[in-house]
Each structure stands twice: as C-alpha cells, then as structure tokens.
Amino acid sequence: MKLARTLAAVLLLAAIGFASYRAYCEYVALSNLEVMIIGASIKRVGLTSADLSLTLEIRNPTSCDSPAVSTVYDIYVGGAYVGRGSLPPTAIPAGEAVRRETIVTVEYAKAATGLAEALVRGRLQVTIRGKVSTRLLFGLIPITLSFERSYGG
C-alpha cells in the first residue's frame, strides 16, 4: 500500500513537471517569434481597387517548437488603414521559419495616397499591426502577443 502511494506521488510529480516544462517551452517559443514582412507588391490594378500581396515570415529562433499560432493584423499603406489580414493557425518548428503569402483587396477610397504613391513612384510603404495568439499547455491557457512591422520596398 505504501509503495502504491509512493509510486502515485512520483507519477503525479513527473506529470506536473512535464506539463510545466511544456508550458514554459511553448511560452518561450511564442514570446520570441519574429514576424517580418519580406515582400509587398501590387498584384492587380482595377478601376476601384487593387490587390496587395504581402509575404510574411514568422521565425522561431528558439530551441522549442511553437504551438500552432493564429495571426491577425491590420494593414496600413502610406499610413492609411486599408484592411485586415490573417494567417491560418501555423506551428513553427524550433529554429525554423514559415513563409506565407496573403492577398488583400484594397479599395482606392481607403488608401488613395498610399496606393497612388506606390503606383506613381514604384515604392510601397506597408505597415502591419497585429496579434499572434495561441493556447498553451494542451489548449488550457490562452495567450496573445502584439507586434508591429513595416516594409518600405
């Protein structure tokens, strides 16, 4: 009977230790994620709108795999808000990066100056402000971190 209690206590402590380490590792990976804009271009020009292509890279420089993260961001062209973008939940392995392209249709009325400058000068100034969200420890703990990045290609 005493052996069974001791064994149960050891297994419980091992499970708590594993869960704590996993939560810590996931948090370290999430808090060190680097979201970057590595490309921005105008893909289509129409009468009332244009399609803006953004290529984002999410890098995990840690030695821990990140849990699947959802990314939602507001897009600004030349300082004017033009829309919202998002990426599907994506896990980023330790020491690796994931690239995703997203295309956003921008109405000229929302970003007249920024898009006009891009079309005339061939220079596109894009800023994104967003949040990376996930749930740690087997989905029990929600966590969200903010970011802001600019691209002036």
Please, are residues 87 and 130 in contact by the beta-carbon 8 Å criterion?
Answer: no
What pLDDT was estimated at residue 23? 75
| Burial status of residue 2 (CB atoms within 10 A of its CB: 0-12, 13-18, 19 or more) | exposed
Q: How far apart are CA 47 and CA 117, in angstroms?
A: 17
pLDDT score recorded for residue 5: 81
Q: Which pLDDT belongs to residue 113?
A: 62
How is residue 98 written in tokens?
């994931």
Number of Cβ within a 10 Å radius of residue 89: 11
pLDDT given at position 112: 62
Q: What local confidence, expressed as pLDDT, does residue 130 receive?
A: 93
What pLDDT was estimated at residue 111?
65
- Please tell me the predicted confidence (pLDDT) of residue 121: 62
Quote the pLDDT of residue 131: 93
Confidence (pLDDT) at 150? 87
Model-level pTM greater than 0.95? no
Chunked mean pLDDT (size 10), the chain, 153 residues: 78 76 79 88 84 90 89 86 88 92 81 62 80 79 87 73
